Amino acid sequence: MTGTNTIATLGSHSSLQIMKGAKDEGFSTLLVTKSDRAWFYRQFAFIDEVIEVPSFDTFDEVETQLIEKNAILIPHGSFVAYLGMEKNKKMQVPYYGNKTVLDWESNRERQWQWFEKAGIRTPRHFSSAEEIDRPVIVKLHGAAGGRGYFYANNRVEFERKITEYNFKVNEYIIQEYIVGVPVYVHYFYSPIDNRIEIMSVDRRYETNVDSLGRIPPQDQLSLYIEPSYVVIGNSPLVLRESMLPEAQRMGEKMVSASKELMDERGLYGPFCMETIVTEEQQFYTIEVSCRIVAGTNLYTEGSPYSWLYFNEPMSTGRRIAREIKTAIRDDRLNEII
Amino acid sequence: MTGTNTIATLGSHSSLQIMKGAKDEGFSTLLVTKSDRAWFYRQFAFIDEVIEVPSFDTFDEVETQLIEKNAILIPHGSFVAYLGMEKNKKMQVPYYGNKTVLDWESNRERQWQWFEKAGIRTPRHFSSAEEIDRPVIVKLHGAAGGRGYFYANNRVEFERKITEYNFKVNEYIIQEYIVGVPVYVHYFYSPIDNRIEIMSVDRRYETNVDSLGRIPPQDQLSLYIEPSYVVIGNSPLVLRESMLPEAQRMGEKMVSASKELMDERGLYGPFCMETIVTEEQQFYTIEVSCRIVAGTNLYTEGSPYSWLYFNEPMSTGRRIAREIKTAIRDDRLNEII
Amino acid sequence: MTGTNTIATLGSHSSLQIMKGAKDEGFSTLLVTKSDRAWFYRQFAFIDEVIEVPSFDTFDEVETQLIEKNAILIPHGSFVAYLGMEKNKKMQVPYYGNKTVLDWESNRERQWQWFEKAGIRTPRHFSSAEEIDRPVIVKLHGAAGGRGYFYANNRVEFERKITEYNFKVNEYIIQEYIVGVPVYVHYFYSPIDNRIEIMSVDRRYETNVDSLGRIPPQDQLSLYIEPSYVVIGNSPLVLRESMLPEAQRMGEKMVSASKELMDERGLYGPFCMETIVTEEQQFYTIEVSCRIVAGTNLYTEGSPYSWLYFNEPMSTGRRIAREIKTAIRDDRLNEII
Amino acid sequence: MTGTNTIATLGSHSSLQIMKGAKDEGFSTLLVTKSDRAWFYRQFAFIDEVIEVPSFDTFDEVETQLIEKNAILIPHGSFVAYLGMEKNKKMQVPYYGNKTVLDWESNRERQWQWFEKAGIRTPRHFSSAEEIDRPVIVKLHGAAGGRGYFYANNRVEFERKITEYNFKVNEYIIQEYIVGVPVYVHYFYSPIDNRIEIMSVDRRYETNVDSLGRIPPQDQLSLYIEPSYVVIGNSPLVLRESMLPEAQRMGEKMVSASKELMDERGLYGPFCMETIVTEEQQFYTIEVSCRIVAGTNLYTEGSPYSWLYFNEPMSTGRRIAREIKTAIRDDRLNEII
Amino acid sequence: MTGTNTIATLGSHSSLQIMKGAKDEGFSTLLVTKSDRAWFYRQFAFIDEVIEVPSFDTFDEVETQLIEKNAILIPHGSFVAYLGMEKNKKMQVPYYGNKTVLDWESNRERQWQWFEKAGIRTPRHFSSAEEIDRPVIVKLHGAAGGRGYFYANNRVEFERKITEYNFKVNEYIIQEYIVGVPVYVHYFYSPIDNRIEIMSVDRRYETNVDSLGRIPPQDQLSLYIEPSYVVIGNSPLVLRESMLPEAQRMGEKMVSASKELMDERGLYGPFCMETIVTEEQQFYTIEVSCRIVAGTNLYTEGSPYSWLYFNEPMSTGRRIAREIKTAIRDDRLNEII
Amino acid sequence: MTGTNTIATLGSHSSLQIMKGAKDEGFSTLLVTKSDRAWFYRQFAFIDEVIEVPSFDTFDEVETQLIEKNAILIPHGSFVAYLGMEKNKKMQVPYYGNKTVLDWESNRERQWQWFEKAGIRTPRHFSSAEEIDRPVIVKLHGAAGGRGYFYANNRVEFERKITEYNFKVNEYIIQEYIVGVPVYVHYFYSPIDNRIEIMSVDRRYETNVDSLGRIPPQDQLSLYIEPSYVVIGNSPLVLRESMLPEAQRMGEKMVSASKELMDERGLYGPFCMETIVTEEQQFYTIEVSCRIVAGTNLYTEGSPYSWLYFNEPMSTGRRIAREIKTAIRDDRLNEII
């Protein structure tokens, strides 16, 4: 795979950051995007080439081009949405990341197995109504806001609502309701440098739920507002310093457990732990995302943490490119592609 | 107007950013400020000269000085508050920005006409009580928080409250109540470079409304708190990347429509779209500010977006100075003054 | 004290920032930390030496080492928690900051005396139930969240609750309840440069209180959530520019009053005013912290304000190191140690 | 039909009152009841004969007995529930009341037609979502409490909820939501004496809705209580005297309109207007019941009103018997059977 | 005044009860009513004569007739409303009751003076904002529901609301807010028999306030309901027997104090104490009505209490007639007319 | 015991009704009362003799008098309060009722044993926190309102609150929270006539809980009202006729079970089942009172039900006297004394 000097991704999610980072590290950059957004990406000087596709159904043709150009494809959060899991896994173009992880990330049961293996604190899960002894949130698989979830305080309330909401057996989970604030921790694990870095931390900005607190309770009730949780942005955050060691340990444990559960490479590159922090200052992990997340878009020029590790502007996008560059230099690219 | 090398503004709002940006671009800087704040501004090295005025009523005298110094005046959000609309428009000193836009910005009816021309999505407006078919917010012209607005769910409630609040005909508007999160998008349109840039995005920090969410509902009711919306700060934000193209299009449409509605120059320089983003990820524009906004003060050293366009620290204040510098270089200053 | 080229601190709170700032200014850096966190701090290149202690009870031994190394110790918010007030004051190692201030900071009554002397606006305090004529918050000394405080709207409610909550005489304060948003202003006062700088501003991120606003009122009530105020992070903020002069004056008044109340050195170095800003845009100061605060951790690479003063990346940690460096250069170190 | 001296009814609803009233007027009394309640009714001396039926499906056989005994059957509110509308109408036994009225009473559309004809004030009905201009209650036909109704404040809310609640077209009505207190007025119209009497007035006692007011709002929300409206009792009430003339007029108008709409006999005997009284002291009629209602069970020994008309204890049950006795005496029984 | 055998009143309020009571005691009865209600009253056999008036403005003419007929007029709660205070006091027809009392009843200040003289427990009154130390209700003189009152928890809230509601000085009272249930106690004081009787007790039925408790809190807020307190009926009540002695003492004290404050006759005949009963089982008197009240309409045939005193059906209306009959018999009529 | 013609009771609770009923049945009547209430009772003609006691501590002396007078003492709800359980049971004067029942009535555990034996539906009781699977109310033994109870929705909430409220083990019960309306059913079981009668039904009037529903939710919260449940009166009620058979069965089952559990006489005379009726029209019994209850005071002249059984005015007080009279006549007095 000598000669690789192009980094490619799909035009969405965190592609600007990935492209700029790649350019900053000296790569050629190539963006595949749907035609209606091509004009947008073309205005940035750090993107060398924009390939338009009318739709991602025809990604196969593009793939050939990417292979010809010796490009390495950097996945992000819209890959599965655009290409589908199957296409994602079967792709032949060099791909940054361990595809085995995809199966573990996309399946809720396996995620929990992973958390358990890693010794990560999570909300308790209840496998039957009888076990409910505290407030729970009941979520439909794949639901986002609206009527896709409900709270229940006890078994009897659960049973009434499960009927009322018409949730089907095996289509929902019963999870302890954790009271606390959401925190998203962005990691980078480099098998090349053999270390885990806390790249940054963010809070999401979600509509309409982040507007509720500005509406007096009587008006919320009067206006009959139901909360929704659609992420439309991110805001910066730093954590209390005394919590950083635990945060880093969490990342290490995940990486370590992944090697045992999946294969010897396990999880590497960027990933994110979605947590709730309670008043006891404990992280409860809700989900892991095994790729670059949109929250890192805040830190194009580096974050309060990445400056500590690198002493130069280092976005997560750039960190990926740096990793690839180092791997190429050390002839270890096959370990991460 | 050859020889211009001084940039001036009034001491408030975003003047630190404007002065520093001008200095970074190599201009002399001059700040006009009320005497009681002069000490504050004098401590910054990037301000070359501070002219004190006891009050802005006597701005005429200063104007002469500015003209003599060949200064270009950069307006910001406190100009109208300090000088009044009339003085603002009649000023003879070179002024960055199209004064025709002021009339369109300051008049709500014309703003809507502009939005409509541009094809911008806005909350629906109701011209009579009979049309009300959803929750509305009824606002007094020029009101800010307190009892200057109310919600109504239907015609009958509207009619009762319009009496109770004693709002007079033609002094209020009836607007669809949009549930979503506020997002402020900062643009810069450069006729010199012929492009629109998304400089940055922010959230406002408003008192007391941003404290409500931290008070349990029973205490909010018990303490009898009425919401107010006084902006006292700003926090950083990035948008979901997939929303950026639409955000940019919005800016382009506004610029384009302005040329049709006003004159061939239309709107240029910095401006801001004040929007609500709903759970369908749609922007609803509430207002346009045709000048540098205070939210850009967050990005003295550049924003996550400005780094993408410029690859050097570029605040909106500096962007203005850069534009002027380029225009001078290309002998096109008359197009933007 | 010639020969000083090592800056030391304890591993927690803002030590990363302090160490990195010291390194950026050319100092050797030394971190004292508990053994279980040493691995964490060792990964950062800007920390030259990590001394492990099993517990801070044995800090005396370390102190000797520090003295031998000619180190200057930079205190932060965890010092009192780790070492206790007494040990803190008796320490023989060179210490940045005026220890007399500690007595004034740690005693609520003296803080008020200080605020009053300085002419700082604070919530009104009521010394007896009879005086209560508005909503008050009644706080147990030293309490944090939970049942350590209550609201009362009037004398009769106060008297009922004081019994119900079983607060003992002299163990609580009765404070006017101020409705507004919290703002934390970070100052640096340099006696060497003889100026006060507004280094940055932040908002805290507290669990669980910052999650309340995202929960509809009926669910908050249904889930029976009691607010807690445990700081687990910080978010960036800029203030309305027109409020900055008053913010700076507040800092100046505190410094000035401290010289009258304590000794001729008074308060210097970093400190933070914890305020509530009301809808009249007035600061009400709740507390002063006379040391570097965790909110400055956001600004490793400088803040929107520090860029204005320094035109180079200047964290508060680095500012301390710069101050010491300048004092050494000017042979004035004794003024600040 | 000479020789009639037996009055019969079914054992439920208000049968005790009917039987006792008949006995007080000198009739023989006969009660038809399901076997499992026969023991209950047998303990009352004023019931001469109890006929047991295992179920009302076999009422036909009983009917023959009743005819043989020359009994007159007095219907009450459980007749339709027990026998069904069809059986009710086809019955051959002498029956007190005009069966034509049953069709008008049981059909909501016809009830409104009747109210309109009579000039009775009712909540406004909306035939389409577009018309909604005030709070409405949307009720499923035949629903009682629970999720069989919802409130909507405007068209948009109506449209969302109609989907959410899954109400089908033509299965619900949209009714103005009237804020006021429920009042049930019991009338007796005697064609024999040619007068309308206000026999009594009551309030219903409904579970669980009459318990809500005793639960503090935070507990109602916390306990997740949904209101239900099952009548389990009645409490006495008198009306403000100045409202009685209007109450009586309402009854007269109903009788009068019934003669025009149905047949020359129209409505006679006991009936009840179910109303809401608003703060303007106006009756809004929700429904009419064309028979003795359970609220009259309060007045076994006469009501505050019946004493005014009769100066002897006169329940509605006894009033029916008195009417029949008078009709027999005057040989006008055919007018009311 | 020998020869009196006619009792008269105006057709409203409690006139049916008065007329029936008079007839039961053997008097002739005469009702003066507005023409549009005459039909209603004519249907009752116990009213011997109905005099129609088109309006009460012409009551003077009727008065002459009443005098000619030797009638005694029985006042009730609608007298002042119909005739006005002045006409009421100047009337020449024999009138049951002490007109001096009218002045004390109609003036709030004098009522309090009376309560104080009598040693009756009332809510505390506050004469200035400074005194407020508990929740208060602030009422406009003469207001009934709607925006004619507000609650305030302390001085500051009071001051804000007094402005917001625009209540004028001297037009409102500030009263301690008593939490408890309303109880209306009906008394009869007979100077002839020299005793005080508790005739009965009632609860009012008020629209819309008695409907609130049946509406879940979220719907009350959503439907934006403001409470109103229009009495439209009454419901029966008995008091805990252990509270009756205190209830009776209250009546005695009022009578006794009236003789001291007004004249030697003082208050006699029917009157009513409007009270709130707290959880300490204490009566707080809000108002006294010095006449027959509508709550007695419940007890046409006697109340649970009147049966104890009389062992025959004794309404308050009949009690008045009995008093007059006895006075005539004993030739003491002048003491009560 | 021949010669008995005096019925006695203590002056409180329902003594007026008992005395009047005894007089109506031809007995001499004797009331023992504290001196400060004697004046009150002396005004009623149906009380032949009033014996004053300064305090009930000296009841022994009175007892001798009662025995001498051959009086039969009728207990009511204030007996235990006045005399104490021990004195009550040791009394030598002839006493109406089975004293063995007192032990079962006064002990909550035994009450439940009784209900279970009788097959009476009650709220479920939970013996440990682990069992909690629905909303529960946790009550301190002997508590009435205020902080003597709390709600919990699940085990975790229960455990937090049990600590917060500081309830001690074995001092509280955990009871299913039943949503429904309270109904009090008054029974009389006559072993002499061998039948059970439903004498009447009532609702209690409790302060302050019956005032809550009249206060809008925002004001309830704002005024910080805690519910209390002090009975200060009663209001009449009739039950849906179809529920009467079950109500009567409940009484029968209680009597029947009492004979098995206690002695061959078991429970007789007046008693009351305190129930909650749910929306399924089911009675949940909360408590049984084995004596005349204050709710019967409403029916001095008979209730809607007692008229059905007796066709003459029959209060529960009179029913007792009738029973004794019949027993004397039949020489069976020993069965009930």
How far is the C-alpha of D294 from the C-alpha of C202, rounded, in Å?
68
Distance from CA of E19 to the nearest CA of C (A): 50
**Encoded amino acid at A132, one letter:** I
Q: Which two tokens stand for residue C58?
A: 């044995």
**Encoded amino acid at C156, one letter:** V
Closest chain E CA to residue F219 = E151
Which of E253, E270, E251 has the alpha carbon at shortest distance from E317?
E270
How far does chain E reach from its first CA to its final CA, in angstroms?
10
Which of E90, E98, E103 has the alpha carbon at shortest distance from E255?
E98
Backbone angles phi, psi at E39, to 5 degrees: -55, -35
Residue A92 burial by Cβ neighbours in a 10 Å radius (0-12, 13-18, 19+) = exposed
D114 DSSP 8-state letter? H
Closest chain C CA to residue D217 = C221
How far is the C-alpha of A107 from the C-alpha of A262, rounded, in Å?
14
Q: Which residues of F touch B218 (CB under 8 A)?
A: 221
If DSSP codes are grouped into helix, strand and coil, which group holds residue B137? Answer: strand
pLDDT for F175 equals 94
How far is the C-alpha of A49 from the C-alpha of A33, rounded, in Å?
11
Neighbour tally for C24: CB within 10 Å: 18
The residue-averaged pLDDT of A270-283 equals 97
Q: Of the ranges A39-53, B195-209, C48-62, D33-47, which one carries the lowest mean pLDDT score?
A: C48-62
Q: Print the SS3 string covering F267-279.
A: CCEEEEEEEEECC
Closest chain F CA to residue E180 = F208
Which of A62, A48, A50 has the alpha carbon at shortest distance from A20?
A48
pLDDT at F126 exceeding the cut of 80: yes
Query: Which residues are F143's β-sheet partners?
Result: none
| Contact call for E236 and D236, based on CB within 8 A | yes
pLDDT for C210 equals 95
Q: Of the ranges A65-69, A152-156, C324-328, D78-82, which one carries the lowest mean pLDDT score?
A: D78-82
Neighbour tally for C170: CB within 10 Å: 7
How far is the C-alpha of D222 from the C-alpha of C220, rounded, in Å?
9
Chain F: touching chains (3 or more CB pairs < 8 Å):
A, B, C, D, E
Neighbour tally for D141: CB within 10 Å: 11
Which of B128, B111, B123, B110 has the alpha carbon at shortest distance from B170?
B128
Q: Which residues of C touch F222 (CB under 8 A)?
A: 153
The answer to whether residues B309 and A44 touch, using CB atoms and an 8 Å cutoff, is yes
Residues F72, F77, F78: CA angle, nearest 5 degrees: 85
Element containing residue A49 per DSSP (H, E) = strand A49-53
pLDDT at C14 exceeding the cut of 80: yes
Percentage of chain F surpassing pLDDT 70?
Answer: 97
**Encoded amino acid at B89, one letter:** K
Q: Which of B135, B225, B238 sits opposite A298 (nearest CB)?
A: B238
The answer to whether residues A7 and A72 touch, using CB atoms and an 8 Å cutoff, is yes
pLDDT for F223 equals 80
Residue F108 pLDDT level (bands cut at 50, 70, 90): confident
Whole-Å CA distances, C181 to A145, A214, C275, F256: 28, 12, 8, 68
Q: Which residues of E touch D243 (CB under 8 A)?
A: 232
Closest chain A CA to residue F136 = A154
Neighbour tally for A263: CB within 10 Å: 11
Q: Which residues of F touch C153 (CB under 8 A)?
A: 222, 224
Distance from CA of B95 to the nearest CA of E (A): 44
Residue that is written with structure tokens 């997002």 in the block = B183
| Contact call for A154 and F156, based on CB within 8 A | no
Residue pairs spanning A and F at CB distance below 8 A? 35
pLDDT for E226 equals 82
How far is the C-alpha of F327 from the C-alpha of E16, rounded, in Å?
45
How far is the C-alpha of A21 from the C-alpha of A174, rounded, in Å?
41
Closest chain B CA to residue F216 = B221
Q: Which residues of B touch C209 (CB under 8 A)?
A: 214
Neighbour tally for B254: CB within 10 Å: 25
| Contact call for E235 and F235, based on CB within 8 A | yes
| Contact call for E224 and A221, based on CB within 8 A | no
Candidates A150, A164, A224: best to mutate against D (most CBs of D within 10 A) is A224
If DSSP codes are grouped into helix, strand and coil, which group holds residue E52? Answer: strand
Distance from CA of A243 to the nearest CA of F (A): 27
| Contact call for A154 and F153, based on CB within 8 A | yes
B103-120 pLDDT per residue, tens: 999 888 899 999 999 999
Neighbour tally for A249: CB within 10 Å: 17
pLDDT for F147 equals 61
| Contact call for F281 and D217, based on CB within 8 A | no
Distance from CA of F130 to the nearest CA of A (A): 8
E265-310 pLDDT per residue, tens: 999 999 999 999 999 999 999 999 999 999 999 999 999 999 999 9
How far is the C-alpha of A168 from the C-alpha of A142, rounded, in Å?
13
F200 DSSP 8-state letter? E
| Contact call for C12 and A241, based on CB within 8 A | yes
Residue pairs spanning C and E at CB distance below 8 A? 35
Closest chain C CA to residue D225 = C222
Those residues whose C-beta lies under 8 Å from the C-beta of residue B115, and which sit 6 or more positions away, are: B122, B285, B288
Residue B282 burial by Cβ neighbours in a 10 Å radius (0-12, 13-18, 19+) = middle
Closest chain D CA to residue E237 = D236
Closest chain D CA to residue B153 = D153
Closest chain A CA to residue D225 = A157
- Maximum distance among all Cα pairs of chain D, rounded to whole angstroms: 65
pLDDT for A89 equals 84
| Contact call for B224 and E153, based on CB within 8 A | yes
Q: Which residues of D touch C221 (CB under 8 A)?
A: 218, 221-222
The residue-averaged pLDDT of B293-308 equals 97
Give the residue numbers in A contacting F (CB under 8 Å), as ranges: 130, 132-135, 153-157, 218
**Encoded amino acid at A246, one letter:** E
Element containing residue A307 per DSSP (H, E) = helix A306-310
pLDDT for D85 equals 84
Closest chain C CA to residue B237 = C236
Q: Which residues of A touch E222 (CB under 8 A)?
A: 221-222, 224
* Average pLDDT over chain D, rounded to an integer: 93
Chain centre distance of CA C290: 6
pTM for this predicted structure: 0.91
The residue-averaged pLDDT of C253-279 equals 97
pLDDT for D169 equals 86
Chain D: touching chains (3 or more CB pairs < 8 Å):
A, B, C, E, F
Give just the sign of the alpha carbon dihedral D162, D168, D169, D171: negative
Residues D176, D178, D183: CA angle, nearest 5 degrees: 130
Q: Of the ranges D165-169, F34-38, F185-189, F265-269, which one carries the lowest mean pLDDT score?
A: D165-169
pLDDT for F3 equals 60
If DSSP codes are grouped into helix, strand and coil, which group holds residue A322? Answer: helix
Percentage of chain F surpassing pLDDT 90?
Answer: 77
| Contact call for D214 and F210, based on CB within 8 A | yes
The answer to whether residues D185 and D201 touch, using CB atoms and an 8 Å cutoff, is yes
Chain A: touching chains (3 or more CB pairs < 8 Å):
B, C, D, E, F
Distance from CA of E174 to the nearest CA of C (A): 15
- Maximum distance among all Cα pairs of chain E, rounded to whole angstroms: 65
How far is the C-alpha of F285 from the C-alpha of C93, rounded, in Å?
75
DSSP string spanning F148-183?
SEEEESSHHHHHHHHHHTTPPTTSEEEEE---SEEE
Q: Which residues of B touch C182 (CB under 8 A)?
A: 211
How far is the C-alpha of C136 from the C-alpha of C176, rounded, in Å?
4
Residue E86 pLDDT level (bands cut at 50, 70, 90): confident
Whole-Å CA distances, A306 to A19, A301, B235, C61, C178: 18, 9, 20, 34, 38
Which of D27, D28, D30, D33 has the alpha carbon at shortest distance from D13?
D33
Strands across the sheet with F136-140, in order?
A: F125-126, F172-176, F136-140, F149-152
Those residues whose C-beta lies under 8 Å from the C-beta of residue D319, and which sit 6 or more positions away, are: D21, D188, D197, D199, D270, D306
How far does chain A reach from its first CA to its final CA, in angstroms?
10
How far is the C-alpha of C263 from the C-alpha of C100, rounded, in Å?
8
Query: Which residues are D203's β-sheet partners?
Result: D235
Q: Which two tokens stand for residue A261?
A: 């559960």
Q: Which residues of A touch D224 (CB under 8 A)?
A: 153, 157
Q: Which of D134, D156, D218 sits opposite B156 (nearest CB)?
A: D134
Chain B: touching chains (3 or more CB pairs < 8 Å):
A, C, D, E, F
pLDDT for B145 equals 44
The residue-averaged pLDDT of B147-169 equals 87
| Contact call for E224 and B157, based on CB within 8 A | yes
Which of E1, E2, E10 has the alpha carbon at shortest distance from E63?
E10
Those residues whose C-beta lies under 8 Å from the C-beta of residue F134, and which sit 6 or more positions away, are: A154, A155, A156, A157, F176, F177
Chain C: touching chains (3 or more CB pairs < 8 Å):
A, B, D, E, F
pLDDT for E164 equals 83
Distance from CA of C284 to the nearest CA of E (A): 18
pLDDT for D144 equals 46
Q: Which two tokens stand for residue A9?
A: 């991704």
Query: Which residues are A71's β-sheet partners?
Result: A6
Highest mean pLDDT among B3-12, B142-151, C244-253, F127-136: C244-253
C64-112 pLDDT per residue, tens: 999 999 999 999 988 888 888 888 888 899 999 999 999 999 888 899 9
The residue-averaged pLDDT of C231-252 equals 97
Residue A276 pLDDT level (bands cut at 50, 70, 90): very high
Neighbour tally for F147: CB within 10 Å: 12
**ipTM strictly over 0.85?**
yes
Which of C337, C287, C295 has the alpha carbon at shortest distance from C106?
C287
Residue that is written with structure tokens 């403001």 in the block = E226
The answer to whether residues D245 and E13 touch, using CB atoms and an 8 Å cutoff, is no
| Contact call for D302 and E301, based on CB within 8 A | yes
Residue F143 pLDDT level (bands cut at 50, 70, 90): low
DSSP string spanning F47-70?
--EEEEES-GGGHHHHHHHHHHTT
